[in-house]
Amino acid sequence: MKMKKTILIIEDDLRIAQNIYRVLQSEDFDAEIARDGLAGKKMALEGRYDLVLLDINLPGMNGFDVCRLIRQFKPVMPVIMLTAYGEVEDKVEGLGRGATDYIVKPFDFRELIARVNAALRLSVVGKSGEGRRILGIADLQLNVDTKVVTRAGKFIGLTAKEFALLEYFLLHPGTIISKMDLAKNIWHLNFDPGTNFVEVYINYLRKKIDKGYDVKLIQTRPGLGYILMAE
C-alpha cells in the first residue's frame, strides 16, 4: 500500500491555510496546519513531514528564520515558501535561507500542486535515488547510507560507536539527552552512575566534530545530560 505524503502548512491566515489543506487532501496528501512561526518550527523539527509550505510573514517567528532552522536540523526536507511579497530581494533571501522553491500569492492551486510534486520528486532523488539520506546541523552532515561524516566539507573518521552516538544526537536535535538514555540506546545497557563510559565517548566525539570550530555542537547540561545544537 502506497503511503501518503504528509505536508506541514505554516500559515497564519486561516482561510488560506484551510484552502491549501483541502486542495492537498483532494490530491491524496495528508496535511497539518500551524498558525504561527514558533508552533510551525516546533512541529517541523519534531514531526515527520515530507514537505513544508511556509509563509514568510508569520507571528512569533518569521518564515525566513523558520526556514533557516529547518535547514539546519533537516537539511534535505523540501521547503516551499509562500508569500504575498513579490520583490526579488525577498525571493533571494528565502532561497538563501535554504528554501527549495518560492511561490507568490495569490497563486493557482494547480501551480502549487505542481511545485509540491516537483519538490517531492527531487527529495526522493536526494534521499534514495543517489543513496543520500543525510542528517545534519549547521555545517555538520552525516550520510546514513555511506556512513560518511563531514564538517565544513572536511571528512571526519568515526568508530562505529561514535557514529551511532552522533546519529542518535542528530535524530533528536535540540533535545536534552541523559546519560541513561545514551547508555540504553547506544550500548543497550542499564546506566551505572559509577561508570564514566558515556562521558568518555562524548569526549571522543567532541574532539572529532567540535575541536577547532568556533561553534561547538555538543553541549553539556549539568545534571541533565547533553544536547546537540548550533549556538
In what helix (H) or strand (E) does residue 228 lie, and over which residues does it extend? strand 225-228
Mean pLDDT of 143-168: 87
Q: Whole-model pTM?
A: 0.56
Give the helix/strand (H/E) hosting 150: strand 149-151
SS3 69: helix
Q: Hey, what's the cell of 84?
A: 504575498
With a cut of 80, say whether residue 213 has pLDDT above it. yes
**Local confidence band at 129 (pLDDT 50, 70, 90 cut-offs):** very low
Average pLDDT over residues 44-48: 89
Contact 97, 71 (CB under 8 A): yes
Q: Which has more confidence, 220 or 151?
A: 220
Which pLDDT band holds residue 180 (cuts at 50, 70, 90)? very high
What gap in Å lies between CA 34 and CA 41, rounded to an integer? 9
Nearest to 223 by CA among 192, 188, 178: 178
